[in-house]
Chains A and B, each alone.
Chain A
Amino acid sequence: MANQPTKPNDSDARARLAELWHNSQPSVSAYLFASVPNHHDAEDLLGQVAVAVARDFDQYDESQPFVRWAVGIARHRVLNYRRKYAMSKIVFSQETVEALANAVPVEPIRQSDFKAALKLCMGKLQTHARKAVTLRYENDLRPRHIANEMDMTPNAVSILLHRSRKALADCVQDSMEG
């Protein structure tokens, strides 16, 4: 049986909402950024989802994982978005939007844990790979500029970045599972 709906004006409920959202927001954000190719639009959708989550929190059934509920709201927003912009922007199919929503882990990885694992994994990267990743993400350089900095061809930089991202993702996954 579902729990009694939570009252949004209850201070305990607000604290509970803050905690749940803090833990789940990175997963919701990851889902939106994976589902919407336009990153700016994904960012705006995240704001909309946050508002909806706060507004509708009294409808949340605590017997269900919060992240699943929040991602459900996000999924609806993305489907609305793709219906609205299907003719004017690049959007994924409904099947893909659904598949990505189903792929969100029910037990969300805390952002602090993800960051910590990623930092450790960065330390394991080889020097040239770490250099390329640093130039890409801290200095916000494109591959052709990184190529100049690292005395490589732009194509080689793209490959290096691709391999580095893949290695980091695998490393984080391993550390979470380990």
Chain B
Amino acid sequence: MTRPDHEIDAFLEGQLTDEQARVLDDWIAADPANAAAFLHLSRTHQVLTVLGKENLVNRQTEQAIVDAFDMESDLDLLGSLAEMEASAETSQYPVAISPGTGSAKDQDITLSHALSELRWVAGKSANRLLHSKPVITSAVAAVLLIALTLFLVFSGGQDKPITDPLANTPLWDTPPQAHQPVVATLTDSVGAQWRSYDKPVPMPMGAQLVAFERYTLTHGFAEITTQRGAVAILEAPATIELLDGDNALRLHAGKLVGICLTERSKGFVVRTPSMDVIDLGTEFGVHVEGDAVVATVFSGEVELVADDDDIRLALERGQTARLSDQAGSDLTISIEQQVDQGFTQLHQQFAKTVQPLPGTGFGTKINGIDPNWHVVACNDRPFDSPQPLRAIAARGYHAVLPGSDAQWLNWDLSLSPDHPASQLKGSVSFLFRTVIDLPESMDPSQTQIAMHYAADNRLHAIRVNGERIVLEDLSKGGVLIRSTRYASVTEHLVRGENTIDFEVINFQNNEVIDGPGAVSFYLDWKLIGREMKPIDSASGSSGGSRQ
């Protein structure tokens, strides 16, 4: 008999119908294993509910709890609880402290925790009392009193503490964890201050933004870049939430300019409360203010989607759409044949020239040789001739990133015995080299290389025109296979050709962890060619400082 998942969910949610109950009943009774599975699932649901409520209780003040009980009998109940707490402190209902089972403080916490749980039960029942018929009220109150009596019985003479070692561990306020998917990176900012969940958060350059976290820019300007290279420039105050994809965000409030100049970033989506703005390869602005949304296009074209997909329209260069979605009124959209002037300064002074660079394997077929890259040295000993690199798809343990099937470059270390590299043992550095061109139109002093990288085993350093650049982010890290890191380089660039070397560390002769001996490297990078400068009129000063 197939497990009735739908019926189980309805049961857990307290929405079981007669027919669903019959189906579920038949399934549980059919097999003891079904009964055991259902019982365990039900308990999991129950404990999840308790954990969620515990967290809420922890957040509430004592006064807030009292406020919830606005019936005299319930206040009496709380009074009884308070007396019990006081009594416990004066050992009327002693909680014996066994040697080695914890400190006196632990015992206090234990009893307090037990009381708070009872408070929650009492509060839950009390809230139900408020909405119940008097006869039921009396019945439940009687049960509560019995429960209180039981508590007195159970707490008296208890010789072991009731401890939950994780009772005070916040489960539900989980801050962004390292394993949460990184969907964007902070790539520039001016005077920016951030908050997340009403708490100030430091956001240094290169900070990684994870899905489903809400970030509020309270001051200044900031630029974030999605994993697929779309650039969003924000002006405070603005609140965004990154979505569980690599090329979308939700703009809850504020102003944003989006720049999507590369093929990989095309399709960048800005969701607002009433309209989605889908990039079709363009530069555009979106402003959310209450129920109103403004979208304007500087170049290219975007698609607007609203009203549960019933409204879809293209917005072209030089056009502005204004959408109003006030409660109780029809949704209205008006189109103007001019760019909204409210974005002009943000776009002109903060938008940048973005020059995509040939990343590893992009434009190369799987197993093909990438003409842009070579391995040129091993432990700083140059090879007689540059070694070609083969483009490979991400392997099972490598980062899988969208945009290309062949995204890693691989160099097989199965060298002939007389090759110098084959004589090395342990940690070995290999130099991956490419040459990029900085257009004459871009000022090197105002240009940065922004990159997401991953390496098997790890990237150790970068050299720009022979100058070695040690970045803290690169010196840390260990094995960087499953996810990318962000780095930015602004030094030693010149107009025209620039030789860029990446020192990739791997382990030779199968001594450590890398199996047959291959060194692999992933890089997605670009040149960003305009320095962010504060807007005088907006910031009130001409200085501003980069974070």
Contact = CB atoms under 8 A, between A and B. Distances in A.
B51 A151 contact: no
Given A50-B150, A103-B35, A173 B9 contact: no
Contact of A99 (B29, B43, B167, B169): B29
A118 B44 contact: yes
A19 B357 CA distance: 68
B180 interface: yes
Interface in B1-57: 5, 8-9, 11-12, 14, 16-18, 21, 24-25, 28-29, 32, 34-36, 38-52, 55-56
A101 B34 CA distance: 12
A37 B21 contact: yes
Interface string B138-162: 0110011011001001111111101
Contacts of A111: 47, 164
B112 to A, nearest CB: 16
Interface string B70-83: 00000000000000
A137 B52 contact: yes
Interface in A13-61: 14-15, 17-19, 21-22, 26, 29-31, 33-34, 37-40, 43-44, 47-48, 50-51, 54
Contacts of A100: 28, 35, 38-39
A18 B157 contact: yes
B157 A138 contact: no
A interface residue count range (under 10 / 10 to 19 / 20 to 34 / 35 or more)? 35 or more
Contact of A165 (B41, B156, B160): B41
Contact of B166 (A34, A115, A130, A173): A115
A70 interface: no
Contact of B43 (A93, A95, A114, A130): A114
Instruction: Find the residue from B18, B48, B56, B177 having the highest chain A CB count within 10 A.
Output: B48
B143 A168 contact: no
A138 B52 contact: yes
A12 interface: yes
A127 interface: yes
A4 interface: no
A145 to B, nearest CB: 13
B12 A165 contact: yes
A70 to B, nearest CB: 13
Interface string A82-126: 000000001111011001101110000001101110110011000
B302 to A, nearest CB: 18
Contacts of B157: 11-12, 14-15, 18
Given A115-B166, A140-B52, 20 more contacts: A11-B156, A22-B154, A37-B14, A37-B21, A44-B140, A44-B143, A47-B147, A50-B146, A51-B146, A51-B147, A90-B18, A111-B47, A112-B163, A119-B166, A127-B211, A130-B174, A165-B45, A168-B48, A169-B40, A172-B40
A8 B516 CA distance: 71
B128 interface: yes
Contacts of B167: 112, 115
B212 A127 contact: yes
Instruction: Find the residue from A22, A39, A96, A166 having the highest chain B CB count within 10 A.
Output: A96
Contacts of B210: 127
B32 A30 contact: no
B166 A116 contact: yes
Majority secondary structure of chain A interface residues (helix, strand, loop or mixed): helix
A37 B38 CA distance: 13
A10 B336 CA distance: 86
B35 A102 contact: yes
Instruction: Find the residue from B41, B44, B165, B244 having the highest chain A CB count within 10 A.
Output: B44
A7 interface: no
Contact of A47 (B24, B45, B144, B169): B144
Instruction: Find the residue from A12, A31, A137, A140 having the highest chain B CB count within 10 A.
Output: A137
A67 interface: no
Contacts of A116: 165-166
A37 B25 CA distance: 11
Instruction: Find the residue from B51, B56, B181, B243 having the highest chain A CB count within 10 A.
Output: B51
8 contacts: A14-B157, A43-B124, A99-B29, A100-B35, A115-B164, A119-B171, A137-B49, A165-B41
Contacts of A112: 163-167
Contacts of B146: 47, 50-51
B172 interface: yes
A129 to B, nearest CB: 10
B452 interface: no
A175 interface: no
A114 B165 CA distance: 12
B271 interface: yes
B125 interface: yes
Nearest to A34: B42
A38 to B, nearest CB: 8
Contacts of A166: 41
Given A50-B147, A90-B16, A33 B42 contact: yes
A130 B213 CA distance: 12
